[in-house]
A and B are shown apart, each in its own frame.
Chain A
Amino acid sequence: MNRVDTWRFRWQLARTIGRRDLHVAIYDIRLYATLSATIAIAATLLRNDVESIQGNGFVILSNPLLIPLFGAAVVSSIYLAVASTTTVARERERGTLEVLFYGPVDAVAYLLGKVLAQMGVYALMVAVYLAALALYALIINFVFALNLLLAALLSVATTSAVVTVGILLSTLHRSVRSALLTLLAIALAFLGVQLGHDHVCSLTSGMARGDYNPLLLALQTLFTWLDRIFNSLSPLAYLKRGFDVLLRGSVAEYVLTMGLSLLYSAVAFGLAVWTLRRKGVR
């Protein structure tokens, strides 16, 4: 089989696996609960805007629907992070992964199918959010701007980073429980570093370096570096950066953020394939 045929067949396998996973996700009540929760969050934010307008007479807003969309993208990313972290581990735990590999399924096709499924779920979620926001815009007479579509497109790229990292974590574990514990540990580590960084910076805020306690200086250095590393490793940081870029209206940075997110996803995907091949399917 030449390379083209191999990739053609691989793509067909990935689509089959992705279709199945998508079918599973569509019959998962948690998807709908997440959709409802995020639309409720959007409704709350917009309700606050409406009440502010009614109370004060007017409010000046440039992107009133962007923040609700950002909130929806973050919550969706968390949902997909959990879903993608458990997907491979669950199949390995139940033995269905090995059965798949009895057949003509290889690591690339399998994981590509998993990514396709999760991104399909996200595309569905984004479509629902945009429809909900469009409806809200109609009811409240808010502007449904073009940059919402750009934001949605950007969020697809940044969410792919979340999904591929989740899948990478999933390939490392043999059980759903340990995969989720690892995800939780990483999330807590990120949060801890962020809080630590904010705390230490508040202590040193405005102080000249010569006036620092040496321990404080060391802590500030440590947390600053950790914060930088975690911010470049965290997929959600790319999402936040992307929305920030949109708010500032910088086209070049928008394209750069999209590109970096996709590159991040490609690297995480490659690592996931390598890990699955090394670790095996049992």
Chain B
Amino acid sequence: MVRHSRRRSSTSFRWFPVPAAKFAPWLPLALTLLLLAAAPAQSQEPEKTESFVYRGRVFNGLDYTDTFYPPSVETIYLLANRENILSPRRTRVTFRPLTGVYEADWTSMNRTVAGELEILSGNEVIATVPQQSHGIQSHADQGSVVSLPTGRYAVRVRADDGSIVPGSQKQLVVFAPRRQGLGYQMVPQEGWIRPAHTDDPADVIYAREGAVLYLQPYVAEEYNDLYYTRLEDPQSQSGRKDHWTWVHVRPFERAGDLILDFGQTVKVLAMPYRVEQLPGSRLGYKVVDYDPVAEERPPDFVAYQLFVDAHHASYRLQLQDADGRTVLGSQRQVHRVPEVNSWALYFLAGLPTTVGVYLLVSRHERLVTGRKALPPESNGHELWQ
């Protein structure tokens, strides 16, 4: 008798422990059951609980805003080298599943938590900031002023009795803009759209022939998208750490002329304009020239007017400052988009299928011709050589 080894042969080799064909039908069912199981969990609404929170008055590059840091927020984001106020409080907090945010019931409870704010770098306390009354932008508040260079820190409140207030420890990310640039806020002459912004020099302004646009230059700063989003809304779940976002921080006040480069250059001056609301059911607005002599009220805005004519398919614009120097980052390309029968764009899409059908038909014809030449079965007289 021959003993055979129990080594698995290649014909019984399986890559997966269970054939995919058997497994596949059950997977959607399993996932659906899991997700349905999660549904009852959603209906459980947390109660209002008394919690330690921070209330903030923070600078966002343009001005100060009020922020709120419930226990769910583990990290506070602040701009570097700016005064911000962090105020430790106790209040009643409740979670709203519909909005996905915690809300503070300040009216029922709004108690200041006594103690000093400690700022740590690593495990070392680098600053201790007492709470004081402050006025920022005519808004009086009680809290600790925090102004730090860029870096990662931690904050906590040390109570008067020397203990750390539970729930007060949070991470602190202090950040600065990656770069500064010049952006434009743009509106068309009439319409019903929000102003558009162009902040990246790689942006291209595409406009139709005859469009009249108004450009207002702004100083723009580029921030980390995640940090800036959480700065403005600490409970926000959006924002990506690997993305960057431009923020218009203030108008560019030393603006000179806008230079349009068609090959030859044209200067455009900044002029005042006013906005007329269009009456009745038309909705929208219209930008009209401002006559300083005739008008009683001041202009609504000052901007550079850009007229997209039929003669120039594309050109470059850039801003000069009051001293006539080109402002870095102010260059933009303008492209005139012609009126195109949109459906004509689909014509190109049909070409590949046309080519494919032609190739197949011509090959089929070649094969049909060849098949007709198929000889009768051999009669055995051919000799092998």
A residues contacting B by CB (< 8 A) are: 26-27, 29, 31-33, 35-37, 39-40, 42-43, 46-47, 49-51, 53-54, 56-64, 128, 132, 135-136, 139-143, 172, 178, 181-182, 184-186, 188-189, 192-193, 196, 199-203, 205-213, 215-216, 219, 222, 244, 248-250, 253, 275, 278-280
Contacts and interface: CB of A to CB of B under 8 A. Distances in A.
A12 B203 CA distance: 47
A236 B122 CA distance: 40
Given A33-B353, A143-B204, A219 B337 contact: no
B205 A50 contact: no
Nearest to B343: A47
A278 B350 CA distance: 45
B335 A141 contact: yes
Contact of A136 (B24, B70, B345): B345
User: Which of B21, B352, B360 has its CB near the most chain A CB atoms (within 10 A)?
Assistant: B352
Contact of A143 (B34, B72, B333, B352): B333
B112 interface: no
Interface residues of B, number: 79
A205 B204 contact: no
Given A57-B191, A185-B23, A279-B13, A62 B335 contact: no
B11 interface: yes
B353 A60 contact: no
B208 A53 contact: yes
Interface in B33-50: 34-35, 37-38, 40-42, 44, 46
Nearest to A52: B206
15 contacts: A35-B352, A47-B345, A58-B186, A58-B196, A60-B197, A61-B203, A61-B206, A62-B202, A140-B338, A141-B335, A184-B24, A185-B23, A188-B24, A192-B31, A196-B31
Nearest to A277: B10
B277 interface: no
B28 to A, nearest CB: 6
A141 B337 CA distance: 6
B233 to A, nearest CB: 10
Interface in B335-385: 335-340, 342-343, 345-346, 348-353, 355-357, 359-360, 363
Given A181-B24, A248-B244, A53 B207 contact: yes
Question: Which 3 residue pairs of A and B lie closest in terms of their CB atoms, listed nearest first?
Answer: A32-B356, A185-B24, A213-B41
Given A61-B206, A182-B20, A188-B27, A56 B191 contact: yes
Contact of A181 (B20, B41, B339, B349): B20
B34 A40 contact: no
A54 to B, nearest CB: 5
A43 B197 CA distance: 26
A47 B349 contact: no
Interface string B193-232: 1001110101111111001110000000000000000000
Contact of B213 (A47, A57, A63, A181): A57
Interface string B322-342: 000000000001011111101
A217 B356 CA distance: 53
Contacts of A219: 34-35, 37-38
Contacts of B297: none
A214 to B, nearest CB: 8
B186 to A, nearest CB: 7
A203 B41 contact: yes
Contacts of B355: 32
Contacts of B242: 244, 248, 250, 253
Contact of A208 (B11, B71, B349): B71
Contact of A60 (B20, B70, B72, B206): B206
Contacts of A135: 348
B37 A215 contact: yes
B180 interface: no
B99 to A, nearest CB: 8
Contacts of B243: 248
A29 B359 CA distance: 9
Contact of A51 (B200, B203, B342): B342
B320 interface: no
Contacts of B186: 58, 60
Contacts of A32: 352-353, 355-357
User: Which of A32, A142, A209, A253 has its CB near the most chain B CB atoms (within 10 A)?
Assistant: A32
B349 to A, nearest CB: 4
Given A27-B360, A47-B345, A207-B46, 10 more contacts: A33-B356, A40-B349, A47-B342, A61-B203, A199-B35, A200-B38, A202-B100, A213-B40, A278-B10, A279-B10
A234 B247 CA distance: 35
B204 to A, nearest CB: 5
Contacts of A35: 352-353
B353 A56 contact: no
Given A199-B38, A206-B72, A278-B10, A57 B353 contact: no
B81 interface: no
Contacts of A57: 188-189, 191, 207-208, 211-213
A115 B335 CA distance: 41
Nearest to B210: A57
Nearest to A244: B242
Contacts of A132: 348
B363 A27 contact: yes
Contacts of A279: 10, 13
A29 B95 contact: no
B337 A50 contact: yes
B101 interface: yes
Given A57-B189, A184-B24, A199-B35, A43 B204 contact: no
B24 A60 contact: no
A49 B204 CA distance: 13
